[in-house]
């Protein structure tokens, strides 16, 4: 599901927007492309120092929407830049080998946001 073009985007810096929501309201948290790790089974691991509002939302609703993009990666029809919108489920992890691996790279984190995509669409 996660194409070569998606992986190319992650090789360039850009803003990642993670959207969580409850019946009360949506919430957006941002991070950077360079912080994302894609596992062999296409889960996305994001170091979380904050993300406290997202954590509260995910306790009620595990659905997530997020976008990622980079101007340096050519999009469709020669467009300067491209991005992706992904949907899926998410949870926070605070133990285990993957947590230890991410914490080893980013010692400032308290948890890892693990996203399991169910769809990925190139936008540009």
pLDDT tens sequence across 5-63: 999 999 999 999 999 999 999 999 999 999 999 999 999 999 999 999 999 999 999 99
84: region left, alpha or beta (phi > 0 left; psi from -120 to 50 alpha): beta
Cβ atoms < 10 Å from Cβ of 121:
9
How far apart are alpha carbons 72 and 95 in whole angstroms? 35
110-121 pLDDT per residue, tens: 999 999 999 999
Contact between 73 and 81 under an 8 Å Cβ cutoff? The reply is yes
Cβ atoms < 10 Å from Cβ of 99:
18
């Amino acid at each position: 599901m996660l194409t070569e073009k998606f992986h190319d985007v992650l090789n360039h810096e850009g803003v990642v927007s993670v959207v969580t929501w409850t019946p009360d309201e949506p919430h957006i948290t941002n991070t950077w492309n360079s912080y994302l790790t894609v596992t062999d089974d296409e889960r996305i691991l994001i170091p979380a120092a904050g993300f406290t509002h997202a954590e509260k939302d995910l306790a009620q609703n595990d659905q997530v929407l997020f976008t990622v993009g980079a101007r340096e990666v050519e999009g469709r029809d020669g467009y300067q830049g491209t991005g992706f919108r992904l949907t899926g489920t998410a949870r926070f992890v605070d133990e285990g080998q993957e947590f230890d691996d991410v914490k080893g790279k980013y010692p400032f984190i308290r948890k890892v946001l693990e996203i399991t995509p169910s769809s990925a669409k190139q936008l540009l």
